[in-house]
Chains A and B, each alone.
Chain A
């Protein structure tokens, strides 16, 4: 199987026709992907769609059965220490239990990299300064996840993989985390984010890709995914004591026309575009839709 377009040499990540099988089941079935340098790309997809497998091939954890892959210009299957020095990886499983303190863990991690960030500054960046002297295993779930992120960025990566980074965060912690990710983008870090939170993807990602049945179904900016930008709007209101709903491509004209029929305010008027979640669920073939 040969893909029509060649690998993009300037992309942070370029994938053509990626195939990965486990026994007789095919987890990734010919996936194409380009992630530009400096962008935040969110990979969405249900469990078992091939998301984690794809990311782990890119990170160098897994061999592939077919296709071409370049991550920062290097084939992950042959990537050495210098290549790994440009990556930051925040795994879904986290960095494991430890008897070391946060600061000690970051100092050890920094010692593996050629040009690390200052561990104390990284703790500050993720908001764990007060926990510098606390042992890894005594942290709460959200604090531990921030420590995972700190470990992922202390090596000053050019490309950061974030696998469901905010699981277990309270809303405030998530907002702080989002600010951290934006500040990393401002420093020029490319990020590949996998998440189950669609609001997170919409908030952070320059582009989102939806993966289903081992293929990339669509790539778009969040506002236009699944034809969302052109999709009909849903107008709903209450009339004669009943809830009415209509789909229209011209909601402004529809509301103006309706305003003429009502003496004052249109009761319970709402105009809605499909949410990212709506189009996402439709794309992955959710049976509820």
Chain B
């Protein structure tokens, strides 16, 4: 007779570490994701910085303004676009179904994704800041601005990660997710004050943009990179940091509800 040995499952923390390693390798070894998610904001910064280096008044260059926008766009790419495309791909090719058939704790999968978003986001922010400082003489934030930077980035990133996971369920596969999410992200970038000053966006489009998290992320980051004198150019005449936190918080809650209600480990067409 075989004796029954009390077998102990590996700890959740250990599986989380394994998943984080898997997710980082999956991201950084894939040329498409590295180019689109990591390099795209860098290229934007280089191109816009070279072409549009005019003065916004108060001695602030456009690049200083653009820094906030391109970081917000980078966070959007690392979280929403990355999650939507990545998870849609994994759902359609059977990766998720396979994982669901193992004793991997489901939470570890999401921890791995969060680790991926975190590392990619930090990488994007660091690269953009270094390029900004070295090539365009960007003034880095100081003192408590860093704190604002941290919470706006973290809250925005959380909201967009949850939204990305939710949006992945709408797409049939990674390619269709990319075809849906990429244009939406681009339009949001245009109307949310990433590429040019938000005050130049027509009012009705400002209203549309105000529904989505990107506008609030960009606005919160502008408070970090721009002198307070420029707050008068914002729609409300101030940085509205309280409202930034509120809207991003609401998006987190909404994204979480959507994820819980829509996430599946299997393709809907799989029968």
Residues of A within 8 A of B (CB): 22, 53, 59-61, 81-82, 84-85, 87, 89, 91, 93-100, 104, 108-109, 111-115, 135, 151, 155, 188
Contacts and interface: CB of A to CB of B under 8 A. Distances in A.
B210 interface: no
Interface residues of B, number: 33
A150 B102 CA distance: 13
A155 B102 contact: yes
Contacts, number: 90
B202 interface: no
Given A81-B105, A112-B102, A100 B10 contact: no
Central interface residue in B5, B14, B90, B98, by most chain A CB within 10 Å: B98
Interface of B: 2, 5, 7-10, 14-15, 18-19, 21-22, 25-26, 29-30, 89-90, 93-98, 100-105, 266, 270-271
A186 B104 CA distance: 27
Contacts of A91: 94, 97-98, 101
A82 B8 CA distance: 8
Given A84-B102, A97-B93, A108-B21, 11 more contacts: A22-B271, A61-B100, A82-B9, A82-B103, A91-B98, A95-B95, A98-B26, A104-B22, A112-B102, A112-B103, A113-B10
Contacts of B100: 61
A226 B10 CA distance: 47
B101 A59 contact: yes
Contact of B15 (A53, A95, A112): A112
Central interface residue in A61, A87, A135, by most chain B CB within 10 Å: A61
A22 B25 CA distance: 39
A87 B101 contact: yes
A111 B20 CA distance: 12
Contacts of A188: 2
Given A85-B7, A111-B10, A95 B94 contact: yes
Given A61-B266, A85-B7, A114-B9, A100 B22 contact: yes
A55 to B, nearest CB: 11
Given A81-B9, A108-B18, A113 B102 contact: yes
B95 A97 contact: yes
Contacts of A114: 7-10, 103
Contacts of A109: 102
Contact of A82 (B7, B14, B26): B7
A93 B95 CA distance: 9
A61 B29 CA distance: 31
Central interface residue in B14, B22, B89, B266, by most chain A CB within 10 Å: B22
B270 to A, nearest CB: 8
A81 B100 CA distance: 10
A114 B104 CA distance: 11
Nearest to A89: B101
Given A104-B25, A111-B10, A81 B103 contact: yes
A61 B105 CA distance: 15
Nearest to A109: B102
A231 B149 CA distance: 81
B89 to A, nearest CB: 8
Nearest to B98: A95
Contacts of B25: 99-100, 104
A96 B95 contact: yes
23 contacts: A60-B101, A61-B97, A61-B266, A82-B9, A82-B103, A84-B101, A85-B7, A89-B102, A91-B98, A93-B94, A94-B94, A96-B90, A96-B96, A98-B26, A100-B22, A108-B19, A108-B21, A109-B102, A112-B10, A112-B103, A113-B10, A114-B9, A155-B103
